[in-house]
Amino acid sequence: MNIRILHIVGDSKFGGASFGIIRLARHWKSLNWDVQILSTDGELQRLANSEGVGVLPLDVIWRETRPIKDLLGLWRLYGYLKRSRYTLVHTHTTKAGFVGRIAAKMARVPIVVHTAHGFAFHETSPWWKKSACTVLDRLASFGCKRVIAVSHFHQEWGRKLGIAAKEKIIAISNGIPDPFKPDVKRIAEIRGTWGIKPGDLAVLTPGRLAPEKGLEDLIDAITHVEPEVRARLRVLIAGDGVLSSDLQRRVSTLKLEKHVSFLGFQNNIPELLCAADLVVLPTWREGLSIALLEAMAQGCPILTTRIGSNLEVTRNGAGAHLVSAGCPEQLGRAIATLAGLPETRRALGQRAREIYLENYTLDRMLSQYHTLYEQLFEELEDAHTVPTILSSSHR
């Protein structure tokens, strides 16, 4: 029996979750299954193709909410799924998760699952936004077998909110491969490219330049760092996104050009992490941050926010220094404090690495997804329709 799997992402922009989706697809492909990713994002398509994963460039899901256009997209997707006879549809991200689950249910796809890489709101969002998103998620959940949260915090929060029936919501934490570590010479080359001088503190923040990543807070935080520390502070922002121009204007307005550099999109983040003295992730909202896991895997000292999933991943701050989200002054004080404590930074990085190895490896994540798929196939009413053929178990 030929197993056909479709991961639905839509036009969501390339980010940390993209790597996990491609790694999942690559794992199923290693079992000789027919696996595709529905995506119209060019960067995700290029990476998927480089990994030998099929791409379906069907333009039916868009980030902007336009009811008539969205209904037409849903209808086109339904028609495609009806004709294509997939065994399992796995949706990702908020909009693709809503449209994809409904279309797959209408097309009577045997198994539909959804990974919530994060909610469309954060912990301090207004009640009406949480309520509206919960209603939509609950509606879409009727068409799927499982809703997968990428942290236990979001599993419990999702159950409390009622985004799906409690028994449907499970947690499979994100995982990443143990990254390549550059040698001392390469690190020196990178720091030289950045213009880092002896005694400077290189602060790196990697990720999409998008709302609720807290990058405005990081820029404002620099103004709260004492002048003598600020004089040797270099903040490197690695990434691209919709806020790029706004952030650069903010730096110019605050006259911080000497302290902040925009590196643009980078495909060698593991190397850059090793060249930094401190990794700062001032985010307001995450499912389970891939950028955080990458920094932990490299044993970097990390300064991040005290949001639910970060608390979980860092073991309540054992593997990172935590501050409140949306507090530039507090963030600035923490940067200044850590700048003068190299041994504390070293200890934070070491503990972060240990936590990663114990809980967030790629093998661990793939094994849990593999077990889930096995259970879902076994739950089908007619075992002869889709036999359990997971003989090449990843576990």
Distance CA 326, CA 323 (A): 9
pLDDT digits (tens, 9 = 90+) for 303-324: 999 999 999 999 999 999 999 9
Please give the pLDDT value at position 15: 78
Burial class (CB in 10 A: 0-12, 13-18, 19+), 229: middle
Please give the pLDDT value at position 385: 52
**Segments in the chain below pLDDT 70:** 1, 381-395
Which of these, 42, 52, 51, 59, lies nearest to 8 by C-alpha position? Answer: 59
pTM of full prediction above 0.95: no
Q: Which residues of 127-153 are buried (b: 16+ CB within 10 A; e: fewer)?
A: eeebeebbebbeebbebbbbbbbbbbb
Assign 3-class secondary structure to 202-231. Answer: EEEEECCCCCCCCHHHHHHHHCCCCHHHHC
What CATH number was assigned to the domain covering residues 4-175+362-379?
Answer: 3.40.50.2000
Q: How far apart are the first and last CA of the chain?
A: 22
Rounded to 10 degrees, the C-alpha dihedral 251/254/256/260 comes to -30
Interstrand relation of 146-149 and 278-281 (parallel, antiparallel or unpaired): unpaired
What CATH number was assigned to the domain covering residues 184-359?
Answer: 3.40.50.2000
**CATH 3.40.50.2000: which residues of the chain?**
4-175+362-379, 184-359
Please give the pLDDT value at position 381: 56
* Residue type at position 339: A
Phi, psi of 148 (to 5 degrees): -105, 115
38: left (phi over 0), alpha (psi -120 to 50) or beta: beta
pLDDT digits (tens, 9 = 90+) for 348-362: 999 999 999 999 999
Please give the pLDDT value at position 19: 87
Q: Is the dihedral of CA 242, 246, 248, 250 positive or negative?
A: negative
Give yes or no for a contact between 292 and 267, defined as CB atoms under 8 angstroms apart: no
Please give the pLDDT value at position 13: 81
